[in-house]
Amino acid sequence: RPARFTLDPAFTVGTVDPRLFGSFVEHLGRCVYTGIYEPGHPTADEAGLRGDVLDLVRELGATTLRYPGGNFVSGYKWEDSVGPADERPRRLDLAWRSTETNRFGLSEYIAFLKKVGPQAEPMMAVNLGTRGVAEALELQEYANHRAGTELSERRIAHGDKEPFGIRLWCLGNEMDGPWQTGHKTAEEYGRLAAETARAMRQMDPGVELVACGSSSRAMETFAAWEATVLAETYDLVDYVSLHAYYEEIDGDRDSFLASAVDMETFIEAVVATCDHVGARLKSTKKINLSFDEWNVWYQRRFAAESAAAPLDWPEAPRLLEDSYSVTDAVVFGSLMIALLRHADRVTVACLAQLVNVIAPIMTEPGGPAWRQTTFFPFAQAAQYGRGQVLDVRIDSPTYGTKAYGEVPLLHATAVRGDDGSVTVFAVNRSQHDALPLEVALHGLELGAVVEHSALSDEDPEARNTLDEPERVAPHTVAATSLRNGVLSAVLEPLSWNVIRLA
């Protein structure tokens, strides 16, 4: 039987915040060095930014770009990363057991955002691992204060006359994780986050602040951590963070394809926890969610590789360079759908990461840049997923999974643009069977299918590589129709679909 749902503009979830299409630049592996920054590369500009990567970042449509970590930030000394580049210190990066040259720093990051274009917005993390309130304030003053103080004048002397205007700040990173340098208990972190937030607001009440939530739903402290941290910070922060990575485990592809079930459960549990704290505080304020790390990541493979790696502190080593298959892209698209389905509360999200490190964009030093399979769902969602998310109640055949029980074969959402056009984003989780889809359209003035684009392949393992960078790309599905207020489509097995109606 077909999968079905109804669209009606009277029933909406919320407006998509452009920040939902953020990504992440960490000083990790080759994300920065030989990723976005490679002086001497044939396409590099005078600042050493790779032009081929800039083009792909613009095409990807990424908006908010989180920086400089990640685990890296918990040992970060911001003052190492400013001033004349050849005078900056080399430092040990404990998080990734690498040597950080600081050749690329804060000013270069802001210059990179400007080059990406007006849609790019900074999202800066402060170090609450090895540092605290004072250093966060110093960074904020250096970055944002116009002039007339030692730190703002230092920025000006370094060549940045205009303040950076960073509004969105992360209060540390994954402070619940024992792997984090300077890891803390929820009580310790909640107090530090609250005092840092209070002080940052004293400097500028307009900053937007993200408190660290859990590193994943699987953390033992999950939910209790959020409740404790928010009890301290509720009136001082705007967001709580969520991080989640998914991978296929022991060949269980059916469960992997249903990863978004976990993501949606995670989001709903964090919303409930935020609202519970708000209720206890008798507050009318709502805390929103910053899903500032999400992706498919073969973490087990990384753990095995890093256990075997030599301990010799390399510069910009090849780390976390996952190559993504069509299957990975379908799961990735489904995660994107999960975020859109919760656009009322998830108002910031960052695909971790942007280049080379579990990334949609890959590069070769001195060589080309190319799009991974996951590039396409992100770029299409960032382009067409703007407007109001419509409430999609799915009626679908199901399939059995070990991890999540019975799961609908269809995962979908729909977004209505300001011009009245509607885009349906849909995933067929079936590995072997096509899935007919019928969508009843109520109260929508839609006359035609503009395009049905699908990402699927006879070979679910197909991927784009240095040798074959254009092996995988979306294709058009011709037979999709819109008649008498019903959209009819057939979703290919294991496919990501974008159906545009106008």
Site residues (vs ligand AHR, CB under 6 A)? 26, 28, 69-71, 173-174, 215, 293, 352-353
- Residue 195 bears catalytic tag: no
Given the complex with ligand AHR, which of 285 and 318 has the nearer CB atom?
A: 318
Cβ atoms of 332 and 325 within 8 Å: the answer is no
C-alpha 230/C-alpha 217 separation (Å) is: 17
Given the complex with ligand AHR, which of 3 and 123 has the nearer CB atom?
A: 123
Q: For residue 416, which phi and psi values (nearest 5 degrees)?
A: -105, 120
CB of 174 to ligand AHR, least distance (A): 5
427 forms beta bridges with 411, 496
Given the complex with ligand AHR, which of 71 and 374 has the nearer CB atom?
A: 71
Given the complex with ligand AHR, which of 144 and 180 has the nearer CB atom?
A: 180
CB of 80 to ligand AHR, least distance (A): 18
- Residue 121 bears catalytic tag: no
- Dihedral sign computed on CA atoms, order 77, 81, 83, 89: positive
Which residues have C-beta within 8 Å of that of residue 61, sequence separation ≥ 6?
Answer: 21, 119, 378, 379, 382, 383
Given 26, 264, 293, 492, the catalytic residue: 293
Given the complex with ligand AHR, which of 21 and 24 has the nearer CB atom?
A: 24
Given the complex with ligand AHR, which of 283 and 306 has the nearer CB atom?
A: 306
C-alpha 4/C-alpha 176 separation (Å) is: 41
C-alpha 393/C-alpha 4 separation (Å) is: 9
- Identify the burial level of 449 via C-beta atoms within 10 angstroms of its C-beta, where 0-12 means exposed, 13-18 middle and 19 or more buried: buried
CB of 189 to ligand AHR, least distance (A): 14
Cβ atoms of 160 and 207 within 8 Å: the answer is no
CB of 334 to ligand AHR, least distance (A): 20
Cβ atoms of 172 and 73 within 8 Å: the answer is yes
CB of 15 to ligand AHR, least distance (A): 28
Task: Name the E strands within 320-441.
Answer: 346-351, 361-363, 369-371, 388-390, 398-401, 405-408, 410-416, 422-428, 435-441
Question: Hunting for tokens 């990640």 — which residue is that?
Answer: 70
Question: Hunting for tokens 């249903």 — which residue is that?
Answer: 258
AA identity, residue 192:
L
CB of 90 to ligand AHR, least distance (A): 20
Given the complex with ligand AHR, which of 79 and 293 has the nearer CB atom?
A: 293
5 forms beta bridges with 439
CA dihedral 157, 158, 163, 165 (to 10 degrees): -160
CB of 72 to ligand AHR, least distance (A): 6
Nearest CA to 20 among 425, 473, 320? 425
469 alpha-carbon distance from chain centroid: 23
Task: Name the E strands within 346-416.
Answer: 346-351, 361-363, 369-371, 388-390, 398-401, 405-408, 410-416
Given the complex with ligand AHR, which of 69 and 377 has the nearer CB atom?
A: 69
For residue 123 the two structure tokens come to: 């999202």
CB of 244 to ligand AHR, least distance (A): 10
Cβ atoms of 94 and 75 within 8 Å: the answer is yes
Given the complex with ligand AHR, which of 323 and 481 has the nearer CB atom?
A: 323
CB of 98 to ligand AHR, least distance (A): 12
Cβ atoms of 314 and 239 within 8 Å: the answer is no
Given 174, 226, 248, 492, the catalytic residue: 174
CB of 322 to ligand AHR, least distance (A): 11
Given the complex with ligand AHR, which of 95 and 426 has the nearer CB atom?
A: 95
Task: Return the residue nearest ligand AHR (CB atom).
Answer: 70
- Dihedral sign computed on CA atoms, order 493, 260, 20, 215: negative
Cβ atoms of 269 and 223 within 8 Å: the answer is yes
C-alpha 175/C-alpha 137 separation (Å) is: 19
Q: Which residues are catalytic?
A: 174, 293
